[in-house]
């Protein structure tokens, strides 16, 4: 009787093992399919974000509002104004999904790669040998002291700090990226959950020194408002809230570049280009313009390589930026 019980028990365990083994094989195959899906698409469904996307949440309707500070050392006191980064629309380019952002250095199509976490900018002329019709902006998953090289030429950027902080009452991790060429330096900070947190630029040209920075004061992400949204008029997604002249793109350039600016009300403006000696090169815009966003192109075909300045002025405001023509 005992022998029969042992035989029955052994047979039962064998059946359970075979049954469990089939379940494990099915489960293992499911995991393989799931892993393959994640590797190919970078996400299981659109609602799940990746670490890279957390540092720059790209979605149509998202807006990031900043306090901008500018000063010319040895000149008049610095000025403060409102600066806006808005994600306006999306599209598919080269089988990749990009988002159009309409502010200054970010005035282009961008995407965050769901696999690498890198922030890329669309490059229609395919000028970067390391990438196909795009340029690496920042590697948002970079670790402390990691160095990032954009193209085969150019200055490397380093992740100089990774710190824990609090923003709008939420715990966040902030990464700082730094680049310099000796006379010019940049810092760019990204916060997980809220995106680009801070940017500054300092530059020396001869005896003149320039400094400007932006610091986040509010944002709208996935329809939720954070920070000082009422102050900056974040609810209005299409109407400019400031008189603003943006950095030209591309820069340096040869021979053409585009200059963007916004007007917060109807006014008479003038946009001119002049060289280092102060000589007027050309007038790009002159006269009354309605409130809105504008762009004009500057063609340097008939001008020598060098540093040029472009100035936007109205009865109430004046802004100046530098651009470099390299032939």
214-215-219-221 Cα dihedral, nearest 10 degrees: 90
Among the listed ranges 69-83, 114-128, 143-157, 226-240, which one has the minimum average pLDDT value? 226-240
CATH of the domain at 243: 2.60.40.1930
Dmax over CA atoms of the chain, in Å, equals 111
Taking the C-alpha atoms of residue 256 and residue 243, their distance in angstroms, rounded to an integer, is 24
Going by C-alpha positions, the residue among 261, 196, 235, 249 that lies closest to residue 66 is 196
* H/E run at residue 323: strand 318-325
Last residue of a domain, one of 181, 198, 227: 227
The residue range of the domain holding 280 is 239-327
Q: Please tell me whether residues 198 and 266 are part of one structural domain.
A: no
In a domain, 232, yes or no: no
Last residue of a domain, one of 172, 196, 227: 227
Q: Please tell me whether residues 170 and 223 are part of one structural domain.
A: yes
Q: Please tell me whether residues 155 and 223 are part of one structural domain.
A: yes
Last residue of a domain, one of 169, 199, 227: 227
Taking the C-alpha atoms of residue 69 and residue 1, their distance in angstroms, rounded to an integer, is 92
Q: How many domains does the chain have?
A: 3
Q: Please tell me whether residues 209 and 262 are part of one structural domain.
A: no
* Residues 39 and 197: beta-carbon distance below 8 Å: no
pLDDT digits (tens, 9 = 90+) for 264-303: 888 999 999 999 999 999 999 999 988 877 889 999 999 9
Radius of gyration of the chain (CA): 26
- Which residues lie below 8 Å from residue 109, measured CB to CB, with a gap of 6+? 91, 93, 98, 99, 100, 101, 121, 122
In a domain, 300, yes or no: yes
Tell me what the pLDDT averaged over the chain comes to. Answer: 77
Taking the C-alpha atoms of residue 218 and residue 233, their distance in angstroms, rounded to an integer, is 10
Q: Please tell me whether residues 219 and 304 are part of one structural domain.
A: no
- The neighbour count for residue 282, using CB atoms within 10 Å, is 15
In a domain, 302, yes or no: yes
| In the chain, % of residues over pLDDT 70 | 76
In a domain, 233, yes or no: no
Taking the C-alpha atoms of residue 299 and residue 307, their distance in angstroms, rounded to an integer, is 14
Going by C-alpha positions, the residue among 260, 321, 246 that lies closest to residue 296 is 260
In a domain, 317, yes or no: yes
Q: Please tell me whether residues 286 and 310 are part of one structural domain.
A: yes
Q: Please tell me whether residues 69 and 172 are part of one structural domain.
A: yes
In a domain, 234, yes or no: no
- Which residues lie below 8 Å from residue 269, measured CB to CB, with a gap of 6+? 263, 285, 286, 287, 288, 289, 312, 313, 314
pLDDT digits (tens, 9 = 90+) for 227-248: 864 544 444 444 556 788 888 8
- The neighbour count for residue 263, using CB atoms within 10 Å, is 20
**pLDDT over 80 (residue 16):** no
Model confidence band, residue 19 (pLDDT cutoffs 50, 70, 90): very low
* Residues 74 and 208: beta-carbon distance below 8 Å: yes
Q: Please tell me whether residues 37 and 53 are part of one structural domain.
A: no
Q: Please tell me whether residues 117 and 193 are part of one structural domain.
A: yes
Q: Please tell me whether residues 276 and 181 are part of one structural domain.
A: no
CATH of the domain at 131: 2.40.360
DSSP per-residue codes, 170-225: EEEEEEEEEEE-SSEEEEEEEETTTEEEEEEEEEEETTEEEEEEEEEEEEEETTEE
Q: Please tell me whether residues 82 and 169 are part of one structural domain.
A: yes
Q: Is 47 exposed, middle or buried (0-12, 13-18, 19+ CB in 10 A)?
A: exposed
Q: Please tell me whether residues 63 and 204 are part of one structural domain.
A: yes
In a domain, 248, yes or no: yes
- Which residues lie below 8 Å from residue 286, measured CB to CB, with a gap of 6+? 269, 270, 271
* Token pair belonging to 13: 């365990």
What sign has the CA pseudo-torsion 91, 93, 98, 104? negative
């Amino acid at each position: 009787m005992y022998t029969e019980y042992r035989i029955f028990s052994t047979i039962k365990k064998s059946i359970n093992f075979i049954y469990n083994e089939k379940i494990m094989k099915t489960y293992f195959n499911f995991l393989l399919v799931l892993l393959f899906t994640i590797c190919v698409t970078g996400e299981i469904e659109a609602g799940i974000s990746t670490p890279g996307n957390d540092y720059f949440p790209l979605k149509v309707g998202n807006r990031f509002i900043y306090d901008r500070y500018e000063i010319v050392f040895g000149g008049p006191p610095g000025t403060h104004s409102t600066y806006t980064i808005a994600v306006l629309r999306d599209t598919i380019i080269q089988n990749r999904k990009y988002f159009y952002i309409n502010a200054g250095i970010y005035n282009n199509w961008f995407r965050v790669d769901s696999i690498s976490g890198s922030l890329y900018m669309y490059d229609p002329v395919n000028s970067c040998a390391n990438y196909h019709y795009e340029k690496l902006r920042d590697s948002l998953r970079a670790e402390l002291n990691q160095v990032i090289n954009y193209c085969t030429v150019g200055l490397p950027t380093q992740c100089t700090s990774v710190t824990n902080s609090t923003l709008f009452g939420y715990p966040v991790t902030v990464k700082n990226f730094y680049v310099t060429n000796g006379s010019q330096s940049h810092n760019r900070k990204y916060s997980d959950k809220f995106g680009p947190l801070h940017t500054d630029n300092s530059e020396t040209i001869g005896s003149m020194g320039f400094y400007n920075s932006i610091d986040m004061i509010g944002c709208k992400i996935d329809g939720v408002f954070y920070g000082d949204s009422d102050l900056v008029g974040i609810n209005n997604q299409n109407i400019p809230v400031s008189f603003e002249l943006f950095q030209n793109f591309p820069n340096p350039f040869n021979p053409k570049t585009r200059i963007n600016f916004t007007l917060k009300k109807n006014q008479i403006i003038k946009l001119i280009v002049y060289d280092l000696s102060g000589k007027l090169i050309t007038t790009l815009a002159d006269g009354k313009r309605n409130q809105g966003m504008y762009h004009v192109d500057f063609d340097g075909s008939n001008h020598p390589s060098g540093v040029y300045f472009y100035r936007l002025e109205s009865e109430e405001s004046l802004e100046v930026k530098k651009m470099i023509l390299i032939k």
